[in-house]
Amino acid sequence: MSGLKKILGLLWIVLGPAIIIFLFMQAADKIAAASEGIARTNTILQWSIIILIFIPICTGLVIFGYYAWKGEYDHLPESSEELS
């Protein structure tokens, strides 16, 4: 199980930036496709919100993957002494 946790850790490290790139590509595509005026302003606003929210979350996913790769999750703490 420890080996699987580490290997998947690499996947999470890659997945974080991949999601952000995918979101940027989608945003560019949809904004370009939106008609002029209010429709385009709305589309830019909506995609800005989505990207702004998901950047820190994807950063968290990369950190999670890094910890997994380093074996930090091979044993989960079972008491506060282990956490402090």
Partner 1 sequence: MRSTESNVTQSITQVIAASSLGTLIEWYDFYIFGSLAVIIGQQLFPSDAGASALINTLAIFAAGFIVRPFGALVFGRLGDLIGRKYTFLLTLVLMGGSTFLIGLIPSYSSIGYAAPILVLILRLVQGLALGGEYGGAATYVAEHAPVGKRGFFTSWIQTTATLGLFLSLGVIVLAKNILGAKNFADWGWRIPFLVSILLVVVSIYIRMKMHESPVFSKLKAEGKVSANPLKESFQKKANFKMVLVALFGATMGQGVVWYTGQFYAQSFLENTCKLDFNESRYILLWAIVFATPFFVIFGSWSDKVGRKWIMLTGMALGVICYRPIYQYFLDATNVKEMQKTMLLSESEPVIERALVPNKADSLITTTVTKTLTNGMTFKESKVEVTTEDVLAEVPGVQTVIKDVTLSTQSYIMVIALVFFQILLVTMVYGPIAAFLVELFPTQIRYTSMSLPYHIGNGVFGGLVPFIATLIASFQGSTPLSGLWYPIGIAALSFVIGAVYIDNRRGDNVMD
Q: Which residues bind partner 1 (CB under 8 A)?
A: 1, 4-5, 8, 12, 30, 33, 38-39, 42, 45-46, 49-50, 53, 57, 60-61, 63-64, 67-68, 72-73, 76-84
Type of residue numbered 29: D
Q: For the chain, what is the largest distance between any 2 Cα atoms, rounded to a whole number of angstroms?
A: 59
How near is the Cβ of 38 to partner 1 at its closest, in Å? 7
How near is the Cβ of 44 to partner 1 at its closest, in Å? 12
Residue whose CB is less far from partner 1, 36 or 84? 84
Task: Report DSSP state, residue 72.
Answer: T
Task: Report DSSP state, residue 46.
Answer: H
Q: What are phi and psi of 43, to 5 degrees?
A: -65, -40
In a 13 Å sphere around the CA of 1, the CA atoms on its Cβ side amount to: 4
How near is the Cβ of 52 to partner 1 at its closest, in Å? 9
